[in-house]
Structure 1
Amino acid sequence: MPISQYHHDLIVQYNSSYRNGLTTQEASERRSDSDGLNCIDPPIKCPKWVCCLLPCINHTPSMKQFRLVQPDDAEVLRDGNWIRYDAASLVIGDIVRLVEGDVVPADCVVISLGMDHVEETAQSIENGSSADGVDSLEMTVDSHFITGESKPRRISVDANRAAEPATLYYGSRILEGACVALVVQTGKRVLLAHLITQGRWPPKHDLTEKVKSGDFLRRDDEGISLISVT
């Protein structure tokens, strides 16, 4: 499936490669330069010995919901090969592939829809052929547990069959379809981590419009946008 100029420029901005992803060395260096592992603190933080004495803490509604949105692993493009990797090891700039049933392992921007991450030729696009097939041109994602949105969001392609600009948030779930996405934020800087820190999670109402308006737009030390709010 072709990728748009917007997505191409975004990949360049994050110093990644759509075809090969990051190298093992690049990922290791980025992990060392960042806040560490792609993990976030739970809504109720307590020492292990306290949780042992008061196990009811782990059964509060917020802690139960927190466990539901935790990713286990992810399919990541590393050194040009797709591998299953611990989600905690993802770094900014990683290229990941998400399919139905997956929990989104980081804040990501959809780059292309379907399983195939290799760009098609102009001729195949003109002929209407695609390795992914018609069913791959849409994807449905549920962010209810993250932003409180009332309905799952459907992501499709534009007139050129490139994926529409769309952000997937850590903890959301893919209900239908598949995509290749670029990791734009990890760990304590993902939207969910900020909502927890600000006491806005679990969401009591739909926060989608506030997210779109830029209320949760964050920037790194160089002023580069870390969360797309499309």
Structure 2
Amino acid sequence: EIQSMTERDFLAKTNVELAFVRPASPTATVTPPVNCPSWVCCLLPCIMRTEGMRLYTNHSPKEVNVMRTGDTVAADCRLLECSEDFTVDLSALANEKLPRVCSVECTDKENGVLSRNMVFMASAVVKGDAIGVVVATGDNTVWGQLISNHKWPLVTDVSNAESERFIGNKA
């Protein structure tokens, strides 16, 4: 799993150059859910036209992504560098009550998606700065998979244990 590799091995395997920027790719879009609530289906076309949402379509796997306080993470990324206080809010994605403090260290080798060196599309950067490599875009992101499996938008009474199954905000 790429989440648990050393930085050197990860960069070698993915052929990522930190100064390399790839052109925008149509694979970075999320397919709207078929059986979604009508309010979501009505809003998606409008939301996707906003300037901030257009950023989601500008990322490709293996591309370097810089994240700062106030940003919304535009793709699933593995962190290469981050400030000690780099914190993301996963509440829109997983109903987590507390923001997650991230690090470049792999904290869960058995289930890499639960590791704190991963950040996910649609998460909000609460504090700090980070550099990450895009590992998934569009339908291949955690958010895209939740939508495809009809598990998003989340029901507000979902227990912490249920959301932990998807993201895992372990202490």
How does the TM-score come out when normalised to structure 2?
0.71
How many angstroms does 1:65 deviate by? 9.4
Aligned to 1:39: 29
Aligned pair partner of 1:139 in 59, 63, 86: 86
- Secondary structure at the counterpart of residue 111 of structure 1: strand
Answering whether residue 110 of structure 2 is matched by residue 170 of structure 1, we say no
Aligned to 1:49: none
With CA pairs under 8 Å and 6+ residues apart, which has the higher RCO, 1 or 2?
2
Aligned to 1:72: 52
Match runs of 1:203-218 below 5 Å = 203-204=154-155, 205=158, 206=160, 207-211=162-166
Q: For residues 50-71 of structure 1, what are the alpha-carbon distances to aligned partners after superposition, in whole Å with 9 as ceiling and x for unaligned?
A: xxxxxx94xx268769959x98
* AA of the residue aligned to 2:60: V
Sort the Cα spacing of 1:168 and 1:153 in 2 relative to 1 into closer, same or farther, 3 A: same
Match runs of 1:181-220 below 5 Å = 181-204=132-155, 205=158, 206=160, 207-211=162-166
Match runs of 1:1-230 below 5 Å = 6-18=6-18, 20-22=19-21, 27-28=22-23, 31=25, 36-43=26-33, 57=38, 60=39, 67=47, 72=52, 86-113=55-82, 136-156=83-103, 163-165=104-106, 166-204=117-155, 205=158, 206=160, 207-211=162-166
Separation in structure 2 between the aligned mates of residue 62 and residue 13 of structure 1, nearest angstrom? 39
- Secondary structure at the counterpart of residue 17 of structure 1: coil
Separation in structure 2 between the aligned mates of residue 65 and residue 102 of structure 1, nearest angstrom? 20
Cα contact 1:142–1:175 (8 A) shared by 2? yes
Cα contact 2:75–2:121 (8 A) shared by 1? yes
Separation in structure 1 between the aligned mates of residue 98 and residue 44 of structure 2, nearest angstrom? 18
* AA of the residue aligned to 2:76: D
Whichever of the two has the greater Rg, that structure is 1
Q: For residues 124-170 of structure 1, what are the alpha-carbon distances to aligned partners after superposition, in whole Å with 9 as ceiling and x for unaligned?
A: xxxxxxxxxxxx322110011112222110124xxxxxx33311110
Structure 1 stretches of 5 or more lacking a match? 47-55, 74-84, 114-135, 157-162, 214-230
Cα contact 2:35–2:150 (8 A) shared by 1? no
How many angstroms does 1:174 deviate by? 0.1
Sort the Cα spacing of 1:62 and 1:151 in 2 relative to 1 into closer, same or farther, 3 A: farther
Sort the Cα spacing of 1:172 and 1:212 in 2 relative to 1 into closer, same or farther, 3 A: closer
Structure 2 stretches of 5 or more lacking a match? 107-116
